[in-house]
A and B are shown apart, each in its own frame.
Chain A
Amino acid sequence: MQEADFIKALREGSNQAYGQLIDEYQQKVFGTCISFVPNAEDAEDIAQDVFIEVFDSINKFKGDSKLSTWIYRIATNKSLEFIRKKNTKKRFGFMQSILGNETPIDRSSYFTEFNHPGVQLENKEKSEILFAAINRLPEAQRTVYTLNKIDDLSYQEVADITEKSISSIESLLFRAKKNLQELLQDYYKNTES
């Protein structure tokens, strides 16, 4: 079935098309969600929300991008929305932004319990530290870094999802990596002393 016919079937509310959509995209959507939110239960809830959103707003899909890009975009936005909500509950972002005293990486204040089924036990601690550091990056850098390095999407795919040029993706990735290095250096210096 061509993509246009498939979208038409989804708009008509075909159960078969819905089933096919879930079969085809559940892996990718769950993969993206767990890349942003490294907790299997939370990621599953977000992935379910993504499909509900897709079904609810399929009529609003204009077809400017590929269906997969649109679904990835919804998954990214839903994940970021979840993180935003959890982060505001966990730390006083408002006070920090006023006082400008950013706290160092603190795994205990991470927005969710780290439970990523793809992380091996011997790597768990380092991955946990890395995810906590990623959470401290500005949102644009965090999004691009997560999609490219953790979800393993190509520059072109990341550019399509975030609606940015490839050169700005490269620049965001460069800055994200630099900031991560600084954050991690601070973290390891603090833990040593």
Chain B
Amino acid sequence: MKDKININQLVDETINSVSKIDSVKAPPFFKDKVLNRMVQQNEQQEKGVRYLNWFTPKYQAAALICFVLLNTAVLLSNSNTTDSYTEDVSDFADVYGITSSTSDTYIY
């Protein structure tokens, strides 16, 4: 019983300790620190924007479409010329004797 009263008293004292907390002052040079951070942030933003200022989302979308179209065109043109490319490579291999059949002959 005594313990319970003691615990309740401790609980009350702990909860009431909040009323004994004094108000605190902002740290010294707080204003200067905030203003410095603002200046630094503005400088960083200006640096980042300076080179690509003109590259607005409109131009970004146009550039992306051009990139996709160019890649598609190159892929399509390459797939049409695949046969001639394979022929060229096999001719080259024949001339220098590096086809798989030739090398087999050397091994056995």
A residues lining the B interface (CB < 8 Å): 18-19, 22-23, 26-27, 29-31, 34, 40, 44, 47-48, 51-52, 55, 116-120, 123, 126-127, 129-130, 133, 149-150, 152, 177, 180-181, 184-185, 188-189, 192
Per-residue CB contact flags for chain B residues 31-54 toward chain A (1 = under 8 Å, else 0) read 101110110010000000000000
How far is it, in angstroms, between the C-alpha of A133 and the C-alpha of B14 when the chains are bound?
A: 10
B25 within 8 A of partner (CB) = yes
How far is it, in angstroms, between the C-alpha of A124 and the C-alpha of B22 when the chains are bound?
A: 12
Residue of A nearest to B3 (CB): A192
Query: Which residues of chain B from 7 to 34 have a CB within 8 Å of any chain A CB?
Result: 7-8, 10-11, 13-15, 17-18, 20-27, 30-31, 33-34
Interface residues on B, range: 20 to 34
CB-based contact B26/A30 at 8 Å = yes
CB-based contact A177/B31 at 8 Å = no
Residue of A nearest to B15 (CB): A180
CB-based contact A118/B35 at 8 Å = no
Contacts of B31 in A (CB 8 A): 19, 22-23, 26
